Amino acid sequence: MQTGYYSSAAGMVTQFNRLDTIANNLANVNTAGFKEENLVVGDFMRIYQEKRDELENKNNTKEAAAFINRTMTKAPQIVDEYTDFSVGNMDKSSNPLDMALSKEGLFFVVKTPEGIRLTRDGSFSMNDEGKLVTKQGYEVLGDDYFTTNDGITLQESDSVVSVDKNGQIYTNVPGSLSLTPNKKLFIAQPQNIQNLQKVGDNLYKTDDVASLEPLESTGALKQGFVEKSNVNAVKMMTQLIETNRLVGMYQKAMDTQMNDMNRDAIEKLAKKA
């Protein structure tokens, strides 16, 4: 009796975790540059079968495994989570400081109070000091940051700001329409994007900042565009309905198991009495 109850409870916890992930994806369906999060659901028995022969204890043989406590063997669990870094749709804007990266795995490098971070959200603006910043006010860095320790500064007189496909910024000569090179955006490609950690504000943290190098030629930057979230709202709503139904099924199974246990306990107590 307890086996079914515990398995149902574990299954419900797993579905609650799925609900949290789905809700977060739906909440960010309109967040520029947001990347969809996903969970991988497995069960204890499959994981155990993959690892049991690697255990150091010689008693843990295939034959001995037949006698293990199987209370949670079939309970679904979260075994892995990952981020879908595929490129979202490009939305054209009228802001020359809006920039999007059209290739997967590329990131803008920004400076926050907690250190260097990466982002796909290129909805930039100019602050009161003339520095190029994100929507949260974080400084957007140029490709020479590790040398100059400075960001990108624009002047009020820069009535024309042009950025090429590799991130090179051009501004007009004061009083004319002639363009002169300014700084170049720090666009980086981490070695393993799945090791990046989401830290809020649509930012990613890498443990190996020193290995970040500005790319000379990407051909990926699109000025005047914003990369939309890659969350598929229809798919998320379908998963939301499916998960809610599974929670209801597990709840009914738990109620049934509990009622059976109570009935058995009452019958046994009655017999002893």
Calpha distance 186→141 (Å, rounded): 6
Calpha distance 149→61 (Å, rounded): 58
pLDDT: which is higher, 78 or 63: 78
The answer, yes or no, to whether residue 39 has pLDDT greater than 60, is yes
Tokens encoding 33 = 């540059």
pLDDT: which is higher, 24 or 61: 24
CB proximity list for 20: less than 8 A, separation 6 or greater: none
Calpha distance 58→56 (Å, rounded): 6
Average pLDDT, the chain: 84
For residue range 81-97, what is the model confidence (pLDDT) as tens digits?
A: 889 999 999 999 989 99
SS (HEC) of 117-137:
EEECCCECEECCCCEEECCCC
Complete DSSP assignment for 16-58 = HHHHHHHHHHHHTTTSTT---EEEEEEEHHHHHHHHGGG-S-T
Calpha distance 234→176 (Å, rounded): 50
CB proximity list for 217: less than 8 A, separation 6 or greater: 166
pLDDT band at 70 (very low <50, low <70, confident <90, very high): very low
Calpha distance 25→23 (Å, rounded): 5
